[in-house]
Amino acid sequence: MINYGMDGKVALVTGAGGGIGRAAALAFAHSGAAVLVCDVQDAAGEETVAQIAAQGGKAVFQHCDVSDPAQVKAMVAAAVAKFGRLDYAFNNAGINSVGANEYDDATWARSIDINLTGVMLCMREEAEVMLQSGGGAIVNTASINGLVGNGAQPAYTASKHGVVGLTRHGALRWANQGIRVNAVCPGVIDTAMTAQAAANPEIRAKIEQMTPMGRMGRPEEIAAAVLWLCSDAAGFVTGQPIAVDGGTTVY
């Protein structure tokens, strides 16, 4: 794992109780950043904090439902209160669902509230704090479904396309104020979110067949892209939806 020299910096990660979020939180800590670990699942979030502490890093947990404006405001305020600043934010919290029932009112609203409105709320609060200290870097989790269509996931696909658009908006809005905004667009990643489907040998084989590299991705591979996008190594990169998908969207 690359150490990007983030000593003295502060990172905020939502959905950090497992999968991609936990991998990113661990990666930020490995590079020296203090991490505000955020999730709706308290025990999972505290486990991420424990893993960071075990590797010698600094982290604290903050409960946050990203669809609740008050909780998002409190989350960002907690980063400043506990660590004094905010330099990096990875807005990763999200939900997945499949099927035509996404068109029912409740399912559609929940997908949009968490996957899209949640990102907007986080960006709004994070940018306000970053502007006070001269800038920072924000990365949002979109999806390959934010780059291409998917006939089975209307709400999820719409929400992730929205995240890409919101990312481009933020990049333009804050480009000359020291804030870079990018998105990662994961393919199918081997996490708890995909575990049920991937446990079916036929489904897993289909996933592997549709991926040119012939396998599912690992959370650490998404985390590596997030860290690079936040680092000075990507200092001239903003507004970009970066596909990390084993070549799936090349087709």
The catalytic residue positions are 156
Read out DSSP for 169-205?
HHHHHHGGGTEEEEEEEE-SB-SHHHHHHHTSHHHHH
Who contacts 109 (Cβ-Cβ below 8 Å, separation ≥6)?
A: none
Distance CA 105, CA 103 (A): 6
Coil, helix or strand for 110? helix
Contact 114, 95 (CB under 8 A): yes
What is the signed CA dihedral for 175, 129, 134, 115, rounded to 10 degrees?
A: -30
Distance CA 9, CA 2 (A): 16
Q: What is the layout of strands, in order, in the sheet containing 179-186?
A: 59-63, 34-39, 10-14, 88-91, 136-141, 179-186, 241-244
Tokens 């996933």 correspond to what residue?
A: 207
Distances (CA, A) of 169 to 37, 120, 201, 225, 238: 26, 11, 41, 21, 10
Contact 238, 181 (CB under 8 A): yes
Who contacts 110 (Cβ-Cβ below 8 Å, separation ≥6)?
A: 95
Contact 245, 217 (CB under 8 A): yes
